[in-house]
Structure formats: structure tokens, C-alpha cells
Chains A and B, each alone.
Chain A
Amino acid sequence: MRNRVREQRTTRGMSQREVAAALGVSRQTVIAIENGRYSPSLPLAFRIAQFFGSTVDEMFDASEEVRT
């Protein structure tokens, strides 16, 4: 699933470690989400959206699959 986590994070000048700590997940999980290798649960997706002051709809695009 394509998402804007990396874009939002870099815009704010934050590291993956900082975002991970704020969301209560590991850095590897933030990396996996950014690379589209892991689709977060609905609660985590809401936490991500809230953290970046956005909506789930804006953060995640289910119509676009990331090619790995």
C-alpha cells in the first residue's frame, strides 16, 4: 500500500527512530511501512494520521500497490 509517511516525516525533519518512538513501534516497522512492505492495522494507521495531523485517507492510498 502506497503511503505518505516518508514524505510527511522528512518534511518535518524527523528521523525514523523519532517517529517510531512517538508511535510506539519499532524503527524497523516504520521502515517497512515507508517501503510499503507492511500495511499497518487500522488503530496504527489512525495513530500515524493523527501524529502527522492528517487523515487516514490522505496518508494511505489503497488503490496503489507498491512494487517491490
Chain B
Amino acid sequence: MIMTRYPRLLAPAVMAIGGTVIAAAVVIGQGWAAAAPVEAVTVAAAIGYYVLGGRGSVLGAIVGHRADERQESIRVRARALAAQVAGLAAVAGYVIELARGSAVWPFELFVAVLAGSFLAGLVIYRAGGAGPADGPEGEHEERSHLVS
């Protein structure tokens, strides 16, 4: 409700929650002293993101969740690039850790999640896709569906 009314708060809020979860993990594993800088960086980053979201630039519009269709297409392409780079980094990490004889399951898990979400995306977006073709080919396709 608040996020739909104030979309600019969304990214900083997600960042603050994510950072706080990480800080909580640091508290459990290493104590309060180690977690304090993590939380400080989180708060600073969330404030920085909020300020950036108010700017009139393309980046500001994307971060502030008020992007128009061109800015949205930039965001989608940037996300796709980030996912590709993250996938390549995971594969590189997997190969390096394999060569070192270390545990590789985090990299396997990451690549599996990436591949799974890609396949899920194909299924989800295909479902709302083109629909049956018109004309004789369409009839043929519909018959094929009925047979299978």
C-alpha cells in the first residue's frame, strides 16, 4: 500500500531489509561489533538510493520506480546483462574452485537457480504469448493440440 503510493521508497526499503538480514547473519556468526559497519553501510546505501531515485536522470527514474517504456526497456536489458555476467562469474568460480579442490556446491546452486529461473521465465512469458495461428496453419495446430 505504502509502496504503491510512494514507489520511490521501494528500492531503498528492499535494500534496507536485505542489508539488515545480512547484518543479522553477521551478528549471529561474528557478533555485534562486526555487524555494526554492515548496518551502517546498508543505511547509507538506502539513503543514497532514495536520493538517487528523486533525480531527473534515466538512472533516477529507474531507481525511483517511475520509469517510462524506454527507461523500462533499459532496465530490462541492464538486468539481462547483469544476469549473464553473474552466470559467467558463477561458472568461472565453479571452475576455479573445482581446480582448487574446494567445495563447489554454492556455485552449482547458483547456476541451477539461474538456469531454473530462465526456464521458468520462458514458460511464464510463453503462456501469455502469441496464441494459435490464424487460417489453415492454425487449424492444423489446433488439431495437433487435440491429438497430443
Asked whether A32 lies within 8 Å of B68 as measured between CB atoms, the reply is: no
The verdict on B58 contacting chain A, using a C-beta distance below 8 Å, is: yes
Contact at A28–B69, with CB atoms within 8 Å?
no
User: Which residue from A24, A26, A40, A41 sits with its C-beta under 8 Å from B71?
Assistant: A26
User: Quick check: A25 and B69 within 8 Å, CB to CB?
Assistant: yes
Count residues of A near B (Cβ-Cβ below 8 Å).
10
Evaluate contact between A38 and B68: CB separation under 8 angstroms. Answer: no
CB-CB under 8 A from B68, the residues of chain A are 24-26, 29
How far in angstroms is the closest Cβ of chain B from A28?
Answer: 6
- Asked if B61 is an interface residue, CB under 8 A from chain A, the answer is yes
Interface residues of B in 57-99 (CB under 8 A from A): 58, 61, 68-71
Q: Let me know if A44 is at the binding interface, CB within 8 A.
A: yes
A32 / chain B contacts, CB cutoff of 8 Å: 70
Q: Which residues of B contact A41 (CB under 8 A)?
A: 69
What would 23 A/B residue contacts be, using CB atoms closer than 8 Å? A24-B68, A25-B68, A25-B69, A25-B70, A26-B56, A26-B58, A26-B61, A26-B68, A26-B70, A26-B71, A28-B58, A28-B70, A28-B71, A29-B68, A29-B69, A29-B70, A29-B71, A32-B70, A38-B70, A40-B69, A40-B70, A41-B69, A44-B69
Q: Chain B: residues with CB nearer than 8 A to chain A?
A: 56, 58, 61, 68-71
